[in-house]
Amino acid sequence: MKLIESILAQAPSMAAIRRDLHAHPELCFEEVRTADIVAAKLTEWGITMHRGMGTTGVVGIVHGRDGGACGRGVGLRADMDALPMQEFNTFAHASQHAGKMHACGHDGHTAMLLAAAQHLAQHRDFDGTVYLIFQPAEEGGGGAREMIKDGLFTQFPMEAVFGMHNWPGMPAGSFAVSPGPVMASSNEFKITIRGKGSHAALPHNGIDPVPVACQLVQAFQTIITRNKKPVDAGVISVTMIHAGEATNVVPDYCVLEGTVRTFSIEVLDMIERRMRELSDGICAAFGAHCEFTFDRNYPPTINSAPEAAFAREVMATIVGADKVLAQEPTMGAEDFSYMLQAKPGAYCFIANGDGQHREMGHGGGPCTLHNPSYDFNDELIPLGATYWVELATRWLAQAR
């Protein structure tokens, strides 16, 4: 493994920053303290920055030895927000705020990009500009979308943008990246079935929405098995059913809610259309009325092939080709997808290990994302920072 020596030397101080962020988690669009820490460090290292993009976002601007005169630029992105969940860990850097936790490693993502920022600012051995994107509100707030709306790519012209997420379960010291879809779109639906309430002993006097809901849940799976090509990925999960208040009353209505995940907009369009058709048709067949809403949250995260191949080459020079794995697509979602809709780029995984790095006092659960016993592996900070530095400098060194 070829790590940059100056980054290794600063690893303890960066780990301390990461643990401080972990102890003081902030939810989406509330990352004021986190943004203050990021801004203070960038200022300390002489990095020009822009604050307030996407509400609490920070963009650092590191010009190379030419002062950025060549006009070329590349973007590196880290997310900063935590999750609204209670932490089970009791070690010294556990969350000090009840109901808030860095359970996805965004504290580590921020620390890795800060470590890279420090090295880039101190050396500037490249031509062009590296844009350091510290993004708020990845966890459901669409912070990437909001930064783009605020002019991220117009104010800071970059040729490509890259993102990285820690990935538990992969052996530490490895990466994963692949072209094409790597994370799914995230979408939510809510279906209200309006029937007619009655006494449960006299159901013929009403229109029971509960059996209608049961028919719908089963019918939705035929979209996956009979309307969608078997080779196309798609998930429909009804995760909530609410109806009734008493055992002897047929309710007036029943509400179904859930999520849809796909790797393509075409499949998503088909699923939404068929869900609406089935909902209207089945409800009508039972004499009920349907209210159907379908909200599209994050689009699929799709890596452009040249940038994914470039990232793989950079990783191989650091950890060896055998430690650069194929990136198995996941049905989880990521708002970096908005950036990849606007610019070429690649979103990769950096291995977080199997959880053995956690200190005494960690929770009893596994070290997986969005788990109350999770903790970021601080050993990744110099590796992730080295990747960021090598990626940016090599990208800007390419002939254009």
pLDDT one-digit tens code per residue, 33-90: 999 999 999 999 999 999 999 999 999 999 999 999 999 999 999 999 999 999 999 9
12 burial level (CB within 10 Å; 0-12, 13-18, 19+): exposed
Between the alpha carbon of residue 77 and those of residues 165, 170, 385, the distances in Å are 10, 22, 12
Q: What is the mean pLDDT of the chain?
A: 98
Whether the CB-CB separation of 161 and 74 falls below 8 Å is answered with: yes
Write out the residue limits of the CATH 3.40.630.10 domain(s) in the chain.
Answer: 5-184+300-397
Please give, one letter per residue, the 3-state secondary structure of the chain.
CCCCHHHHHCHHHHHHHHHHHHHCCCCCCCCHHHHHHHHHHHHHCCCEEEEEECCCEEEEEEECCCCCCCCCEEEEEEECCCECCCCCCCCCCCCCCCCCECCCCHHHHHHHHHHHHHHHHHHCCCCCEEEEEEECCCCCCCHHHHHHHCCHHHHCCCCEEEEEEEEECCCCCCEECCCEEEECCEEEEEEEEECECEECCCHHHCECHHHHHHHHHHHHHHHHHHHCCCCCCEEEEEEEEEECCCCCEECCEEEEEEEEEECCHHHHHHHHHHHHHHHHHHHHHCCCEEEEEEEEEECCEEECHHHHHHHHHHHHHHHCHHHEECCCCECCCCCHHHHHHHCCEEEEEEEEECCCCCCCCCCCCCCCCCCCCCCCCCCHHHHHHHHHHHHHHHHHHCCC
* Beta bridge pairs of residue 176: 325, 349
Number of Cβ within 10 Å of residue 24's Cβ equals: 18
Provide the pLDDT for residue 175: 98
Provide the pLDDT for residue 127: 97
Tokens linked to 52: 């307030």
Between the alpha carbon of residue 380 and those of residues 59, 296, 367, the distances in Å are 23, 33, 15
β-bridge pairing 253-262 and 129-135: unpaired
Residue range 197-225: mean pLDDT, rounded: 98
State the amino acid at position 59 in one-letter form: V
pLDDT band at 399 (very low <50, low <70, confident <90, very high): confident
Q: CA-to-CA distance for 334 and 299, rounded, in angstroms?
A: 8
Residue range 177-204: mean pLDDT, rounded: 98
Provide the pLDDT for residue 166: 98
Whether the CB-CB separation of 359 and 93 falls below 8 Å is answered with: no
Number of Cβ within 10 Å of residue 235's Cβ equals: 13
Q: Percentage of residues in the chain with pLDDT exceeding 70? A: 100
What is the number of alpha carbons within 13 Å of residue 10 lying toward its C-beta? 21
CATH topology of domain 5-184+300-397: Aminopeptidase (3.40.630)
Provide the pLDDT for residue 319: 98
Task: List CB contacts of 287: < 8 A, sequence separation 6 or more.
Answer: 195, 207
Q: CA-to-CA distance for 228 and 65, rounded, in angstroms?
A: 53
Residue 383 has pLDDT above 80, yes or no: yes
368 burial level (CB within 10 Å; 0-12, 13-18, 19+): middle
Between the alpha carbon of residue 361 and those of residues 22, 94, 120, 356, 379, the distances in Å are 15, 9, 36, 12, 19
pLDDT band at 167 (very low <50, low <70, confident <90, very high): very high
CATH 3.30.70.360 fits 186-298, yes or no: yes
Write out the residue limits of the CATH 3.30.70.360 domain(s) in the chain.
Answer: 186-298
Q: CA-to-CA distance for 103 and 22, rounded, in angstroms?
A: 9
Q: How far apart are the first and last CA of the chain?
A: 30
Provide the pLDDT for residue 400: 75
Provide the pLDDT for residue 2: 97
Residue range 287-291: mean pLDDT, rounded: 98
pLDDT band at 371 (very low <50, low <70, confident <90, very high): very high
pTM, two decimals, is: 0.95
* Beta bridge pairs of residue 262: 234
Tokens linked to 354: 């199997």
- Tens digit of pLDDT for each residue in 334-356? 999 999 999 999 999 999 999 99
Q: CA-to-CA distance for 209 and 196, rounded, in angstroms?
A: 8
